[in-house]
Structures are given as C-alpha cells and as structure tokens.
Structure 1
C-alpha cells in the first residue's frame, strides 16, 4: 500500500488540525505555510506529486478554482461538511475547497475515503 500525499493550503496559514487527522490515517501531509497559502495549492500539489489537496478560505473556492484553472485538477469547492468532502473524493475530485474547517475529523475522513476509492 503506497502512502497518500495530501497538500493543505489555508487562507489564514492554518491547517494543522486537518493535517494531524490525515497523518493519523496514514497520509504524508504538506501544510503550505503562511497567509494566502490556499492560492499556492496547485503549485505545491504539482511539486509534491500529491494525490489530493485541500483548500480553506472563507468561501471555500479561491484556492481550489485556481488549482483547477492552472493545472487542470478536478476541483469541488464551497463545501461546508465532512460528508461533502467524502462524497467528492468518491466522485473522483482531487482538489477539495472548504470554508474554514480545520478539524482532525476532516483530514482523517478524507484520507480514509481516498484509500477506499483508490486502494492505496
């Protein structure tokens, strides 16, 4: 089973809690440091050859849409609940845009959904 790589970009430079949840589920996590990190999501995903990325901002859209536009990642944005993210992974999205939701449960649930869908 190969390790899943997840990149997290948060508009306010956070993301440590969701990262802890993803790591607990067995993923390698890259948290982009600094304010406006969500806007660098696609760049860092490409550099890290990430399996999926998570963007957090007020609307849940900016970083995800930028990653989709610049690199062609399949993005779903404006999500507000863990179940929405799990469903998006199941539908094949690899960039997930959320409103601010830096919680461990989100990271764990998304990695587990990815493992289930892709057998990683």
Structure 2
C-alpha cells in the first residue's frame, strides 16, 4: 500500500502519513522504496503480531464476561494499549481457564461470597 492509500483510508493528509511512515522507518518497523508498496520489517511484523494478540486476549475476555461483540471489539481496541503485561496474562489465564466461559453470555455465578457484595442502597 502507498502513502496516498493510507491517507485516504484514515482520512488524514498525505503529510501526516509521510511523517508517521518516516518515524516508523527510523524505528526499523517499515521498509519503503520509491514506487514500491510500504512493507513491514521483521521487527514491524513482530510488533503487529503482538498487538493483534493483545487485542484478541482482551476481546475474548470481554466476550467471556458477557460484553456484546461490537462493544467488546471497540473496548478491546482501547484497553489493549493500556493494560500491563502481567494483567494481560491474568486476563488470558482466566479466559483460558473456562471459569468465565458461557458461550459469550453473562456468567451468573457469584465470584465473591454474599457478604462482600455491595448493595445499591449502600452507595446512596
């Protein structure tokens, strides 16, 4: 894909994309050559794969706790950038354990003993 294609797709200027491409190239994430498509370097492909994996972990967790698919996709996009590696691993472990799995439906199991639940009247 070309700079003009990216600018059109994301609704930004050619200059904005050129600056971003230049920065990513300096970080060894992209390869560019005149009249050739922009491509990811090996380092760029690894980073893209890690980002995809982070998104998938958060998305699956949100679906497992009953968040609808559309909302989970939107929320995962934001959350994935702000969650620590340790928290991400815990989300993955919990999702993979099956404890939250209910076919994407809300899990009605009580995760805490009744005595620890806050009643809505307690919040007033």
TM bucket normalised to smaller: under 0.3
Q: Which has the higher helix share?
A: 2
Larger radius of gyration: 2
Which one scores higher on RCO, CA 8 angstroms, separation ≥ 6?
Answer: 1
TM-score, scaled to structure 2: 0.25
TM-score, scaled to structure 1: 0.25
